[in-house]
Structure 1
Amino acid sequence: MPGKVSPDDLLAHVFERTGAADSDETVLQGPADGEDAAAIDWPDGDGTLVVSSDPISLAASQVGRLGVPVATNDVAVSGADPRWLTAVVLLPTGTDERALEKIATDIDAAATALGASIVGGHSEYVDQLERPLLSLTAMGTTERFVPTGGAEPGDRVILTKAAGIEGTAILAADFGGDLEVDSDVCERAEGFLEEISVAPEARIVRKYATAMHDPTEGGVAAGLLEVARASDVRLAVDRDAVPIREETAALCEAAGVDPLRIFGSGALVATVPDDALEDCLAALSDAGLEATAIGTVGDLDGDEPELALGDESLTGPIEDDLYPLWEAADADD
Structure 2
Amino acid sequence: MKTGKIPEAVLKRSVLKQCQNTHPAVLQGAGSGSDCALILTAEKSAVSCSVHPAVLDTMKKVRFAIEHAVNNLACAGSEPEAVLLTVLLPENTEEAFLKEVMREAEAVCKELGIQIAGGHTEVNPAVMLPLLTVTALGAAPSGATTSKAIAPRATPSGEAASGAATSGVHGAGAMDSYLRAAGAQPGMDVLIAGTVAREGTALLAWAHEEELKKRFPADFVEQAESFGSSISILQAARVAMQCGAAALHDASQGGIFGALWELCEGAGCGLTADLRKIPIRQETIEICEYFGYNPYCLLSGGALLVVAPDGRRVEMELARHGITAAVIGKLTDSNDRILLNGEERRFLDRPAQDEIWKERGV
Quick check: 1:317 aligned with 2:351?
yes
CA distance in 2, matches of 1:59, 1:318: 23
Distance 1:308 1:78 in 2: 26
1-side partners of 2:79 and 2:211: how far apart?
Answer: 39
CA offset digits 1:144-185 (Å, max 9, x no partner): 210133321101001011011111111111233333333322
Alpha-carbon contact 1:234-1:308 (below 8 Å) kept? no
The match for 1:168 is 201
1:192 aligns with 2:243: no
Which residue of 2 is the match for residue 111 of structure 1?
Answer: 109
- Bigger mean CA offset, 53-62 vs 157-166: 53-62
User: Is 1:154 the equivalent of 2:195?
Assistant: no
Aligned letter for 2:218? S
In the TM superposition, residue 100 of structure 1 has moved relative to its aligned partner by: 1.5
SS in 1 for 2:48: strand
Q: What TM-score results when the alignment is normalised by the length of structure 2?
A: 0.83
Unaligned runs of 5+ in 1: none
Give the corresponding residue for 2:174: none
Aligned equivalents of 1:252, 1:58: Cα separation in 2: 23
Q: How does 1:18-37 map to 2 (within 5 A)?
A: 18=19, 20-21=21-22, 24-37=23-36
Q: Structure 1, residues 68-101: CA drift from partner, whole Å, max 9, x if none?
A: 1111100011101111100111222222322222
Equivalent residue for 1:259, pick from 295, 301, 305 = 295
Distance 1:63 1:134 in 2: 9
Q: What fraction of aligned residue pairs are identical, expressed as a percent?
A: 30
Matched, 1:245 2:281: yes
Corresponding residue number in structure 1 for 2:339: 308
- Cα offset, 1:243, TM superposition: 1.1
CA-CA distance at 1:199 after TM superposition:
0.5
Number of the residue aligned with 1:127: 125
Q: Is the 8 A contact 1:34 1:149 kept in 2?
A: no
Q: Could you tell which deviates more after superposition, 148-157 or 159-168?
A: 148-157
Q: Distance in 2 between matches of 1:286 and 1:171?
A: 31
Aligned length in residues:
320
User: Are the counterparts in 2 of residues 73 and 197 from structure 1 also a CA contact under 8 Å?
Assistant: yes
AA of the residue aligned to 2:196: A
- 150-159 or 3-12, which deviates more: 3-12
RMSD: 1.9
Q: Displacement of 1:194 after TM fit?
A: 2.4
Provide the secondary structure at the position in 1 that maps to 2:245: coil
TM-score (norm: length of structure 1):
0.90
Query: Match of 1:286?
Result: 320
Deviation at 1:124, TM superposition (A): 1.7
Report what 2:269 is aligned to. Answer: 233
- Per-residue displacement from partner, 1:184-230 (whole Å, max 9, x unpaired)? 22212222122300001111112311111111001111111100111
CA distance in 1, matches of 2:211, 2:18: 45
SS in 2 for 1:4: coil
